[in-house]
Structure 1
Amino acid sequence: MPYIAHIRKEDGGIQTVREHLIEVKELAESYGEKINVKHLSGLAGMLHDLGKYTNEFRDYILAAVQNPDAPPRKGSVDHSTAGGKFLYQLLHTENMVPSQALVAEVVGNAIISHHSYLQDFLSPNLESPFLLRVRDKKAKELEGFEEIKHLFYQEVISSEEFKQYIMNATTELEAYLSKDSSDSLENKLLFLSKYLFSTLIDADRTNTRLYEENSGGEEEVNHSELFETYYKRVLKKIESFSVDTPINQLRANMSLQCDEFAEKPSGIYTLSIPTGGGKTLASLRYALKHAIRHGKRQIIYVVPFTTIIEQNAAEIRNILQDDIHILEHHSNVIEDVEDDENEDGYASMNQRLKLAKDKWDSPIILTTMVQFLNVFYSKGNRNSRRLHNLAQSVIIFDEVQKVPVSCVSLFNQALNFLKTYAGCSILLCTATQPALDFVEYKLDIHKDAEIVQNLDGVVRSFKRVNMVDQATEEPFSTYQLASFIHEKQKEAQSILIILNTKTVVKALYETLKEKEPYIPIYHLSTSMCAAHRKQILTEIRQLLRDEHPVICISTQLIEAGVDVSFHCVIRSLSGLDSIAQAAGRCNRHGEKGIKDVYLIDHAEENLKFLKEIKVGKEITKKILLDMKKNSKSHGGDLLSKIAMDHYFHHYYSDPELSSKLNYFVPKLEKNMTDLLTETKRTYSYHDAYVSKHGKPVPLFLVNSYKTAADHFEVIDNVTTSVLVPYGEGKELIATLSGEENIDDITKLLRTGQQYSVNVFQYELDKLSENQALISYFDGKLLAIKESAYSNEYGVNLNNDSPIDISIF
């Protein structure tokens, strides 16, 4: 009887180990070829399930099929150690060639980890989980190892061919390491390890799915032809725009500069179009032209917030007239359970749905900064699976200044890898470019990075607002601010007020409702679900179009990517980048000449737990004081490039924030950059290992990949998504109570993204205490009761909102 890799549920068909190893090898080779590591990734593919060449695994998988109600414990037969042990014994000997030993470490780690995550070469407990698997306990427990090797050489590849294959893989490794002499060996191997892991995970899962579905594969999309079609549609759209105003002429000129710049070689560039300058269309024009000229496979937009994804995706779909090839990928309301291959050979319906989606192989992808960083640094193999599909792409970062402070170094290192080794062209889009080449782990931005020529002149020509400094005067109370707004409303029909905390936003809203009973007043915060905020913004936009008086009080959620234009904006003092974004919500198209943006200091804001806002506010205030003393200071304009560079240099240098740039892990008292890229000579864990064992770790790499991933979260305060009874959310909650069909549930949950709110743990505890929570699927999905959601404020922790049927 043949050795079995998988058994198809539909007809009992058997995929042999030989077939699976060869097919995964070929798929992995195609993924690795994108960055010239075809044989390294293929090596992982042909060895990953070597441990299935045993009677023990065959008995295990047959028992699972024959006894579906009482199968053997999942994973009770180790089949992933054998391939790693094989490489280690072959290449990591006493007379080893260093480059071949590195192949054993990097490829071997991917193999032994393909049902979990890359293992630590050295962990905080001063042991080596990698060596434990390939050399020590686990390896010694492996039965029939000599027979496994014999079968491999007999069925998969001859020993002579395998030796040559390893030589080719070693040559690829040496070529890869020869790039960028300024980069450390550990950093290069970190990203190579992650890339190879990605190719193996995707090749393995894809082959398993295709066998289970009895499919020959999916039809390849001709990206080049598609991009040519898209590009023609973009040009047609641009031709339809009027250039009868100075602002429109500027937009057209910057768009043309993007088109011309796309001819340049791939690199890391900046697009500093002022707010309202049409950067979505201009960046799309660059991306399509560059992809066509330089053979790029995909265009990926990375944005800070899901609200911007929705807006950008709608705009891009409208321009490109295509719903099929544009993927939006962001958070789901149900917890992402790690997708692992069913080791009994079956794949459940739920499993197959997971295997089929989120590969990031669509021609155009829109995703969030959280998802992008998770691909490189988060635990589990579902995120890692997507990494190889970033290669040979054009990647556009919208509002790049929103990179979380703690992730700045990790972000820079990932982009440097994509540029230098993965053939990507990267565009940093924002009106407020952060100084990412100023920090310790610098971003390798091109020396002539900026696309927009004469940027200071463009900023002056684009001037639509006058910044009025009242922040260096006496602070405003909520009551005083309400009175100030009352006076301004006499001369400005529409006013937007942006404050730093939800508490003061709510307090001002309640005060203004009493003070201005005849003017529509709106409240916006992240306590509301996306559909609720969207509805409010729709109403506000209609009032603005009708030039009807309107007042909106919001947290900073309205600043990035929300296309609204008020006559007057009042901004509570914060970081200069936020102030620039707030200014972009005032007189957005220059239709009202020059309008005022007032900067105020709100006395009742508590920024104790909002360090980044607090630090940004202090630096901005110093800039304002400088300009008060000398009007020509900082370029004579609060929003000038000089002022912005000064701001970010001081921001990243501030003692409260500079210590966070390398992602400090308090529990370990270490930076994540140390866990991932430190050398044997400088790594404190290695020093401690030598002290404990009296000898160094017998490996070239000693980094702690799994430990780092276990401690990584893009956002410090982890939140939980809860479904809320707003609009269709009420029907969704009712439907989920009795729904069992997995296809329908998946569709419903996708809809549920619009009707969910992220709550902090203390808020979740309060909701639970007040009996406001409803639990589904063993707590994986949470919803709140109708009385815990307000039509004005969103989530109500006290669970005492009157039920307003008008919102349903």
Structure 2
Amino acid sequence: MEYIAHIRESDMKVQTVTEHLLEVRTLAEKYGKKLGIKYIAGLAGMLHDLGKYTEGFRNYIVQAVYHPEAPPSRGSVDHSTAGGKLLFERFHRVPADLSNKEAHINKMILAEVVGNAILSHHSYLQDFLNLDSESNFLNRVQDKCLPEFERAKDSFFELVMNATEFHLYVDKAVEELSDYLKVDSSSTTELKLMFLTKYVFSALIDADRTNTRCFEENQPDTSYNPQQLFSAYYTMLMTKIDSFHNHKHAHSAINQLRQGMSEQCEQFAAEPSGIYTLSIPTGGGKTLASLRYALKHALLKEKKHIIYVVPYTTIIEQNANEIRSILKDDEHILEHHSNVVEEETQDDEHEDGSLSLRQKLKLAKDNWDAPIIFTTMVQFLNVFYADGSRNIRRLHNLSESVIVFDEVQKVPVRCVSLFNQALNFLKTYAHSSIVLCTATQPELDYVRHKLEIEPEAEMIHNLDHVIEAFRRVEIVDRATNEHFDNDTLTEFVITQMRDVSSVLVILNTKSVVQALYRSLNERNLSVPIYHLSTSMCAAHRNQILDKVKALLEDKEPVICISTQLIEAGVDVSFQCVIRSLAGLDSIAQAAGRCNRHGEDLIRQVYVIDHIEENLKHLKEIKIGKEISRKILIDLSRDASLHGGHILSIQAMEKYFKEFYTELATSLNYSIPKLGQEMTTLLSGTRKNNTYYQAYLSKHRAALPLFLLNSYKTAAENFQVIDNLTTTVVVPFGDGPEEGKDIIAELNGQQSIPDLTRLLRKAQQYTINIYSYEKDLLSKNGSLVAYLDGKILALKEGAYHHEYGLNLENDSPLDMYMF
């Protein structure tokens, strides 16, 4: 009998189970080798579809493909359990011979780690122990009956690898596991195995989907030579940097300082891989300096990827365009803003017979296999901790990389410990170099789950002198003794415009931003006024920013009202900035948008207290605001305190320590409804795991597993942003491959390559809406579902040409200005 893994849609060619298992094993070995776990990952690849060696699955796939009018019953064949069951049956035994106890125990652990990845490859990692004091994993590998299990095993040992070779292969995997566990004595075994399991799962998911896509497209997987590309990129970057020497102001003190910091970054590239800080002040040439380090380090240490992680989508296109213009390469620079298609979290094993639309979306190339990648903090954290298989598929491509975190102070507070643990894993096991790049370094090593930063971590020498040299603004405290509302703020902005030609106002909530924008427009000023918020898609915001930048460069009058999205990494320079009181890091970042390039000797940044902002649901901003207020009060009483000014290193250290102390109970991602912390669910021990204690009480026996991790429960409760949001495509722009055009294309029949292209392009035309907004839009008839409901899009009336999202669905279509 010919056992079938897949049947190609275009020509009905069969890929046999044997071919698929061997090819996936080869890919998984390649991905695993980066972590020193070639055989562990290969074992997962080789066994993942063992259950397809059955007559039941063969009949299932033939029925699904050749008789779509009468498809087989949903979920009638389980093929993903068999591989995990084989490992558990053969290797999860208490050793009779205690002469090599470590090897026997490691075989049992291997059966748990690899077995979980295998039986989860159509959904997400199973709970070893769940909130009902049961084990989803044991229910599958120990208790579930598979009718043709013996047939599947016999076919595997006959067609893939005989039993003797298989046991030798497992022995090599056990040796790798032993070596892996000996690394880093400071980490717990539970934490090490959590990251190992997720990495193996990532390697398996990507190997499986990549092989299936290549078979379906009848094309080999394309690859690139990172060293060759990085060498060419480095030459082009240095040509650009050398050209600065011919600039008429090249020998000014500031430009000499920029040049010196850039050279320090290049010299630092020779240091071993690790976690470092790059604290170049705003306007110091951070983007090119970090790229110079990254390219040089990648060449010296043979890294495969350079990944920029930023807090907001606003920054991605700006930074990517800046780098793309230097490197002259569109093909190999990937921008990943968001997941346009909502992640499927249910088991999709029943769809493995036919190439449905959902299957095409799943197979679309979305694995971060690119030399240079730009993504967001949300996407980075989702890779490690979010539910579904799309995110975690990318994890293995974070290894052997240089990862630059731009504006790292924006790590969401409740994710700090999870962030630190992920970075420590990437440094210690995945051979990646981490750069924490910001003008306001947070105290990430102050928390309980510390960041393992290098002892001599800072790339820039004599930082106090550098900060003072780049000081171009005066912070004016208008928050300590007075209050502003939108009426008084409108008057204040108008007053400032009598003395300067450009004003930027940054407020804490979208509602007051929109209200101030309307208030200023009602005054009929002969000045262009612009509005920016996350209610607008990235393409829309970038269009507004381009207009603002053009006016600033021409020294024309302009007013911009924005939420904090403009603070991090957006290259604009206003003559005056007004910042609503917030955390000290936000004030420092706002100051970086004023007199950014030293056009004037000194300019003013006004810090105000806006009484109409409702911060009830913005706990972190509210706490940061109060700590900053205390520091401002201290300075008003004694100007010598905290380093002598609000943006000093001493003031920043005091701010972050108080900030993290105030939010100490949130740092480990508390889940109130479960009474658990995320860090405990993912890597808790028998002593601190309440689920385990409940299991003991319920069953009067110990759980017969080494691992207790509640992967599925943790992932289902993980959200980087507090409120659950949904991504929707918006009809902004009516040119080729803009919002309206993309929405129209998504409604047609698309190949896998076309879907890959469209989904990447659509990222610039999406916004995230909260649950209540989604409900209201649905009630108003403003949402349209495409691709069998996998993608949501706004109707035109629900997107305003000035504000973006319009919940009332009453935007004047004839006034659209694209």
**So what's the TM-score if we normalise by structure 1?**
0.95
Structure 1 stretch displaced more, 771-780 or 179-188: 771-780
Residue 779 of structure 1, CA deviation: 4.5
Q: 1:4 to 1:509 in 2, by over 3 A?
A: closer
8 Å Cα contact 2:343/2:388 also seen in 1: no
* 1:732 alignment partner in structure 2: 741
Residue 340 of structure 1 and its aligned partner are, at CA, apart by 5.7
- Equivalence map 1:260-659=2 (5 Å): 260-337=267-344, 344-348=352-356, 351-352=359-360, 354-515=362-523, 517-654=525-662, 657-659=663-665
**Which amino acid counterpart does residue 70 of structure 1 have in structure 2?**
A
Choose which of 159, 165, 169 in structure 2 pairs with 1:161. 165
Deviation per CA, 1:446-473, whole angstroms, max 9, x where unpaired? 0111101111110000111011111111
CA contact (8 A) 2:478 2:609 kept: yes
Letter in 2 for 1:530: A
User: Corresponding residue for 1:758?
Assistant: 768
User: Is 1:192 aligned to residue 200 of structure 2?
Assistant: no
CA distance in 2, matches of 1:642, 1:232: 39
Cross-structure match for 1:794: 804
- The answer to whether the aligner puts 1:223 opposite 2:232 as a matched pair is no
How much does 1:158 deviate? 2.3
State how far apart, in whole Å, the 2-side matches of 1:553 and 1:763 are: 23
The superposition leaves residues 665-711 of structure 1 with CA deviations (integer Å, 9 ceiling, x where unpaired) of 12212111110011112211101110011011011111101111111
Question: Which deviates further from its counterpart, 734-743 or 583-592?
Answer: 734-743
CA deviation string 1:263-294 (max 9, x = no partner): 00000001011112111111111011001001
CA RMSD of aligned residues (A): 2.2
Structure 2 residue identity aligned to 1:18: T
| Residue identity matched to 2:318 | Q
Deviation (angstroms), 1:432: 0.9
Return closer, same or farther for 1:153/1:625 CA change in 2, 3 Å cut-off: same
- Deviation of 1:55 after TM superposition, in Å, equals 2.0
In structure 1, the residue matched to 2:671 is: 665
Which amino acid in the other structure matches residue 389 of structure 1?
A: N
Residue 34 of structure 2 aligns to a residue whose secondary structure is helix
In structure 1, distance between residues paired with 2:15 and 2:334? 32
- Does the C-alpha gap of structure 1 residues 785 and 297 become closer, same or farther in structure 2, counting only changes over 3 Å? closer
* Change over 3 Å in CA distance of 1:490–1:264 after alignment to 2: same
2:186 counterpart residue number: 182
Q: Distance in 2 between matches of 1:781 and 1:453?
A: 49
**1:100 Cα deviation after fit:** 1.2
Question: Which of 129, 134, 141 is 2:141 aligned to?
Answer: 134
Q: CA contact under 8 A between 2:336 and 2:760: conserved in structure 1?
A: no
Find the residue that maps to 2:531 and give its secondary structure: strand
Which residue number corresponds to residue 695 of structure 1? 701
The corresponding residue for 2:149 is 145
Deviation of 1:542 after TM superposition, in Å, equals 2.0
Q: Is 2:688 aligned against 1:678?
A: no
Runs of 5+ in structure 1 lacking a partner?
none
Secondary structure of 1:438's counterpart equals coil
Give 3-state SS (helix, strand or coil) of 1:366's partner: strand
Residue 52 (structure 2) pairs with residue 66 (structure 1): no
Deviation of the 1:541 alpha carbon: 1.7
C-alpha distance 746-324 of structure 1, shift in aligned 2 (>3 A):
closer
Most deviating of 570-579 and 758-767: 758-767
Query: 1:511 deviation in Å?
Result: 2.6
Q: Could you report, residue by residue, the CA deviation over 1:239-260 in whole angstroms, capped at 9, with x for unpaired residues?
A: 1113232222221111111000
Which region of structure 1 is more displaced relative to structure 2, 732-741 or 110-119? 732-741
Query: Could you tell me which amino acid in structure 2 is paired with residue 727 of structure 1?
Result: G
Amino acid at match of 2:217: E
Aligned partners of 1:61 and 1:343 also within 8 Å: no
The answer (yes or no) to whether the contact 1:247–1:589 under 8 Å persists in 2 is no
Structure 2 counterpart SS, 1:208: helix
Give the Cα separation in 2 of the matches to 1:603 and 1:565: 27
Deviates more, 1:289-298 or 1:662-671: 662-671
Q: 1:785 to 1:194 in 2, by over 3 A?
A: closer
Secondary structure, in 3 states, of the residue corresponding to 1:692? helix
Q: Check the 8 A contact 2:680/2:688 in 1, yes or no.
A: no
CA distance in 2, matches of 1:437, 1:80: 41
Is 1:791–1:804's contact at 8 Å kept on the other side of the alignment? no
Name 1:22's counterpart in structure 2. 22
Aligned residues with identical type, % of pairs: 61
Aligned to 2:117: 110
- Does the Cα contact within 8 Å between 1:99 and 1:174 map onto a contact in 2? yes
Deviates further, 436-445 or 54-63: 54-63
Q: 1:352 to 1:731 in 2, by over 3 A?
A: closer
| CA distance in structure 1 between the aligned counterparts of 2:223 and 2:646, rounded to whole angstroms | 50
Distance 1:508 1:186, change over 3 A: same
- Aligned to 1:706, the other structure's residue is in SS state helix
Query: Structure 1 residues 523, 182: CA separation in 2 closer, same or farther (over 3 Å shift)?
Result: same
Deviations 1:171-227 (A, max 9, x none): 110110001111000000000000111111112222222233333x23431111111
Write the deviation string for residues 149-171 of structure 1: whole angstroms up to 9, x where unpaired: 33322222222222221211111
Q: Could you tell me which amino acid in structure 2 is paired with residue 732 of structure 1?
A: D
Residue in structure 1 matched with residue 242 of structure 2 by the alignment: 239
Whole-angstrom distance in 2 between the partners of 1:585 and 1:57: 61
SS at the partner of 1:367? strand
Q: Which amino acid aligns with 2:262?
A: S
* Alignment CA distance shift 1:773-1:171 (3 Å): closer
Q: How many residues align?
A: 802
Name the CA distance, whole Å, in 2 between partners of 1:431 and 1:553.
23
AA of the residue aligned to 2:771: Q
Q: Which amino acid aligns with 1:470?
A: R
Give the C-alpha shift of residue 498 in structure 1: 0.9
CA drift of 1:5 comes to 2.1
Cα distance, 1:780 vs structure 2: 4.0
TM-score, with length taken from structure 2: 0.94
**Structure-2 change in CA distance of 1:222 and 1:669 (3 Å):** same
Closer, same or farther: CA 11–98 of 1 in aligned 2, 3 Å: same
Shift of 1:348: 4.5
Partner of 2:130: 123
Q: Give the counterpart letter for 2:265 in structure 1.
A: C
Q: Give the partner amino acid of 2:44.
A: A
Alpha-carbon distance in 2 for matches of 1:160, 1:428:
49
Aligned mates of 1:376, 1:738 — CA distance in 2: 32
SS in 2 for 1:35: coil
Q: Deviations over 1:47-86 (max 9, x none)?
A: 1122222222222222223312212134421112121111
Distance 1:725 1:173 in 2: 51
Q: 1:62 to 1:522 in 2, by over 3 A?
A: closer
Q: Answer yes or no: is the 8 Å Cα contact 2:409–2:438 preserved in 1.
A: yes
* 8 Å CA contact retained: 1:664, 1:670: yes
What is the rounded CA distance, in whole Å, between the counterparts of 2:339 and 2:198 in structure 1? 24
Q: CA deviation at 1:334?
A: 4.0
Instruction: Give the drift of 1:749.
Output: 5.4
